[in-house]
Amino acid sequence: MKYRRKPVEVEAFRLSADVEMIAPDWFTQAVIDEKIEIDRSLLDGHMHVYGCTIRTAAGRAKAKIGDYIVRDGANIYPCKPKIFARAYERAG
């Protein structure tokens, strides 16, 4: 038998160094709920965001700046840009 993946609409945004300014509400709430940790380091005396760590059912998943953060229902996970471009298209 053959199966086709059903088209599913998801929410997503591209992780950037100014994540606290551009993040959607669901991402901010996940940070507050401690499901996501913003990864930072001290660089030249300033805090520098270099990614985030997402707690998933399968364990911890790391995202770097430039990766997409996808919310599919209650699940939040990172996705590399090339995979995101192949798997998703902008909805209406």
pLDDT band at residue 6, thresholds of 50, 70 and 90?
Answer: low
Q: Which H helix or E strand runs over 22?
A: helix 19-22
* β-sheet with 68-72: strand ranges across: 11-14, 68-72, 75-79
Q: What is the pLDDT of residues 71-89, one digit of tens each?
A: 998 999 999 999 999 888 8
- Rounded CA separation 32/66 (Å): 22
Q: What is the pLDDT of residues 17-70, one digit of tens each?
A: 999 899 999 999 999 999 999 999 998 999 999 999 999 999 999 999 999 999
- Whether the pLDDT of residue 3 is over 70: the answer is no
Q: How far is CA 74 from CA 1, 10, 87, in A?
A: 30, 11, 19
pLDDT at 71: 95
> Tokens in use for 82?
């090339």
